[in-house]
Amino acid sequence: MQQNSSDKDYQDFLVILGKNIRKFRKKKKLSQEQLAFGFNSARNYIGCIERAEKTLSLKTLYKIAKILDVRVEDLLKDTMV
């Protein structure tokens, strides 16, 4: 099955978002488990987000930004290229 361009663009968006989350998580010296614990989630969910295997809600994005002490805009940086 062929992916249309908007599906590919969305997947690229998720990949960059996941990389940004991972970058700030590592900068803060947090494990996936520690980040997940901060908003009552499972460690494997963070891994799935960072690998662009799962989408996340705006509420989850907000919670992750708060825990990482960054702006939501920082996590979205370069996602719309």
Q: How many domains does the chain have?
A: 1
What is the model's pLDDT at position 72? 98
Q: What is the CATH number of the domain that holds 60?
A: 1.10.260.40
35 in a structural domain: yes
**Closest Cα partner for 40 from 67, 58, 73?**
67
CA distances from 70 to 2, 25, 43 (A): 37, 10, 20
0.85 surpassed by pTM: yes
13 in a domain, yes or no? yes
Give CA–CA dist 63/1, Å, rounded.
35
Residue-wise pLDDT tens digits, 37-47: 999 999 999 99
Mean pLDDT value across residues 20-40: 96
Domain range for residue 36? 5-75
Domain assignment present for 54? yes
- Per-residue pLDDT band for 32 (boundaries 50, 70, 90) equals very high
